[in-house]
Amino acid sequence: MDKDSKVSITVIRRLPKYYRYLGDLLKKGINRISSQELSKMTGFTASQIRQDLNNFGGFGQQGYGYNVEELHNQLGRILGLDTVYNAVIAGAGNLGQAVANYKGFEDAGFKVLCLFDKNPKLIGLKIREIEIRDVDSLEEFIKENNVEIGIITTPKENAQDIADTYIKSGIKGIWNFAPADLKVPEDIIVENVHLNESLFTLSYFLKNRSDYTT
C-alpha cells in the first residue's frame, strides 16, 4: 500500500473479521477461496471484499480466488499482528484482571507486562505471572519497558488522568474500557471498547423486533 494513501476506517474495521475467517479456513486445511465463498462466510458482498482488499494491492487472481495462507499472512502484517506489542493495564479490578487473565491477547502478540492500581490491598498480587504494582510507578515503568499500548480499566473519573500519564510517558495507543470520552492529541490512537453500548443496541433490537429486518 502507498504510505500516503488513507484507507477508510470502515475498511480497516472489516479486516479483523477477514483475518479471523481466513484463520478458521487454514485450520480446516482449506487453501483457496473465492470472494463469493468469503462473502457467504462474512456477510459482506463479494464486490465489497474485492474492493476492500484492493486497497492493499488485491492479492486475488481472476478465476482462482485467494490463496488463504498468503492472504491470512498479508492481512496479519497489515494489521500489525506480526509485531509483539508491550502493554500495561491501569485499574486491576474485575475487568483489568479479566483482561490480564485472557491468554488469547498474548497469543496474538499483545503482551501485558504489568497491572497498576492504587489500592494497597492489590499491590504485589499476581494475575497469572503478571504483577500488580502501585500506580505511582506507572510512568517510570512505561519509560523503562518499551510499552506501546496503555489499557484503561479504572473508574471513568480516573480515566483521563491515566490517559494523560500514558501520553506523558510516550504511549501512542490507548485501549480504553472506561465509559469516558478521552481528550488526546492528534497523534494518539484511542480505541474504545464499550460493552454497554453493544448491549443497549441489542436491547433496542429486541424491543423493536417487528421493525427490524436483516
- Which segment (16-24, 78-86, 99-107, 189-197) binds ligand NAI by CB under 6 A? 189-197
Nearer to ligand NAI by C-beta: 76 or 96? Answer: 96
In sequence order, what are the residues at sequence separation of 6 or more whose Cβ sits closer than 8 angstroms to the Cβ of residue 172? 148, 187, 188, 189
For position 175 contacting ligand NAI by CB under 6 A, the verdict is no
**CA count, 13 A, side-chain hemisphere, 77:** 7
Please list every residue from 112 through 141 that binds ligand NAI, using CB under 6 A: 116-119, 122, 135
Nearer to ligand NAI by C-beta: 70 or 164? Answer: 164
Of 82, 152, 132, nearest in space to 110 by CA: 82
To 10 degrees, the CA torsion angle through 90, 93, 94, 100?
A: 40
Report in angstroms how near the CB of residue 196 gets to ligand NAI at its nearest: 6
Amino acid identity, position 13: R
Nearer to ligand NAI by C-beta: 60 or 91? Answer: 91
For position 194 contacting ligand NAI by CB under 6 A, the verdict is yes
User: Which residue's CB comes closest to ligand NAI?
Assistant: 93
Residue 141 near residue 133 (C-beta atoms within 8 A): yes
Report in angstroms how near the CB of residue 64 gets to ligand NAI at its nearest: 42
